[in-house]
Amino acid sequence: MAVGIESIDRLRLDLAFGSHFDNAWTVRTDKKLLVVDDDTTKISRFSDDECEGEQALMIVNKNNKIITLVAIDHKLIDNHPGGIADCAVFDDTKLEFVEFKTNAFGNSDESIIDTFDKACGQLKETLVVFNDKLKAVGVDLFNTMAVECRIVLSHRFPRASAIKQDYRLQFTNETNGIELYFERLVSFK
């Protein structure tokens, strides 16, 4: 059953996830958007509160396209063993799986590595789950739109540029070319 949003209909998310999908998504067309992982509900959502900007994924939507947010963890999929990405944001050409680690401090190399290991594991598991669910309804996710993954860190998290670069390369190699980003800004054209 189509929902009338091209990107959702093309991915057949409503068929793939059934009734779990019904209340897990929302759309916006603003030029600038903020996505946060709510501290109270632990569910990702759009925000209009500029005060939440330091903990947010910032989206630039130059052409006012329909941007869909699907809250994955604790909404679409609850209590997934090993964890799963917090949300997906997408337009009609690009899908970003997002894992928020804004409560991590990265006080040592060990804690940075632990944070990145956990986030990468959650993103990889999300790729597998979505790929399997969509294949079951006849959709090849990776040939339907560009797929990227993103870890959102707080401003107080250390830069750790060399460690991030290592994780980006390893992630891309382990996921057959899916790019991993750490930037808190994403553009949809």
pLDDT digits (tens, 9 = 90+) for 38-85: 999 999 999 999 888 889 999 999 999 999 999 999 999 999 998 999
Cβ(177)–Cβ(48) below 8 Å: no
For residue 164, CA distances in Å to 43, 89, 160, 167 come to 26, 22, 6, 5
pLDDT digits (tens, 9 = 90+) for 116-136: 999 999 999 999 999 999 999
Residues in the chain: 189
